[in-house]
Amino acid sequence: MTPAAADTATGAAQVAVAVLLNAACILPSFMVAAAAGEMGRDFPLGPVAIGIAFSAYWLVASVSAFPLASLLRHRSAAAALRVAGTAAAAGSVLVVLVSHSALALCLALALVGLTPALATPAVNVVIMGRVPIRRRAFAFAVASASPVTALAVAGSAGHALAVELGWRTAYLLAGAAALVLVACVRGTGRRARTEVDRTDRVPPRGRARLGPLAVMMTGVLGGNLAVGAATAFLVVAAPAGGVDVATAAVGVSAGAAGSVLFRILLAVLVDRRGIDPFPLCGAMLTLGAVGFVLLAVPAPWSFVTGLVLVLVPGWSWVSLLVHGVMSRYPDDVAQASGVVQIGYFIGGVIGPVAFGALAGATSFGAAWSVMAAAHLVAATSVLVGARRLPAFRGARVGDAVMR
């Protein structure tokens, strides 16, 4: 193996470990729903408590995103991943030890919410530092599958382990998996701010500041607010659209898989063409808005079509947006990542709550219409915000000169 090939293989392995470790940090939040039945035998745990526990986790993640990302500017990504993974393992043990009531579970999960706030920007730093510029969109697309991976593991292996061995054992095994991944982390002690691969020959772009990124953050918040509501309520709202629950559940699973495939295909296109991903993000958010409008129409064909548009293009913009922001701030990846995370996490927290309140006070159709408006605001914010940021620098595959 040539030195270049060996370096590429090492970089790919480091990215894979970072992505899996981020999924391990997210896993404890999804384990609550997967093991709710078994937990309910130890202490009262109803749907409201499950929702509060999940929201507490992501609320802490959103509040701590920017300060932890700022801290990462002075530490290496490898060190941050080790801390996040170790904290996730410790958090799983804490959940096991203190969760004798729904309140204790919520408080323990809230503390675990610190871990993705640290792990996510670290993953972005690893990608910017170890992945060639011509393959970064693909790497960000793979990284964006961390929540999907965590959800799949919690829903299958996590649930099975909780049933067979008990939910406390399942949480301990999740913590052990995080520690195994921590042991696999490799990296130097260099600070995260300087870990971008200089072979890309990208000139310094300056520090990421909240002001220029605020409009983009608004777009992320609006987009994920609507997507969070969709993933939480598509199955529940299906009968109002003339679709039975079983069909909707299959459709949501297929849509999630389609979203992962779609974002990877678009990432390959962006990498090959070296194009700015923000216009694509705006187009996908607009298609998502059309999907939400169709969900508001009480007809089976409209609901199914809307479901596809919401979950496939309407959910696939995230990784390309992260790629676009990180590429504009290669010298301050952690800080830029923290700003984006604020909008992403807050949207994920308030989306389901806002949708549930709207649907309860009015109707599912009215609530879907509001989500359509949120997606349109998000699309506009992304396109307007792009003009306030530094110019995008990409590279066509095979080009000798970077753009």
Question: What confidence score (pLDDT) does residue 280 get?
Answer: 94
pLDDT in tens, 289-323: 999 999 999 999 999 999 999 999 998 898 899 88
176 burial (CB, 10 Å; 0-12 / 13-18 / 19+) is middle
At residue 7, the pLDDT reads 53
Cβ-based neighbour number of residue 256 at 10 Å: 19
Positions in the chain whose pLDDT score sits under 50? 188-205, 395-403
pLDDT at residue 191, as a whole number: 47
Give the dihedral sign, CA 340/345/351/357: negative
Sequence spans of domains, the chain: 3-199, 209-386
CATH topology of domain 3-199: Growth Hormone; Chain: A; (1.20.1250)
Q: Whole-model pTM? A: 0.73
pLDDT digits (tens, 9 = 90+) for 74-97: 678 888 999 999 999 999 999 999
**Sequence-separated (6 or more) residues with CB below 8 Å from residue 377:** 218, 219, 222
Contacts of 142 (CB under 8 A, 6+ apart): 15, 19, 264
Query: Would you state the pLDDT for residue 373?
Result: 97
| Number of residues written out for the chain | 403
DSSP state of 198: G
C-alpha span between 123 and 15 (Å, rounded)? 7
Write the pLDDT tens digit of every residue in 374-387.
999 999 999 998 88
Residue 209 tokens, joined: 């500041």
pLDDT score recorded for residue 189: 41
Task: Write down the pLDDT at residue 98.
Answer: 92
Positive or negative: CA dihedral 360, 366, 368, 369: negative
Kindly report the CA angle at 170 between 165 and 174, in degrees rounded to 5?
150
As assigned by CATH, the class of the 209-386 domain is mainly alpha
Chain segment 120-133, per-residue pLDDT in tens: 888 888 888 778 88
Note whether 3-199 and 209-386 share their fold. Answer: yes
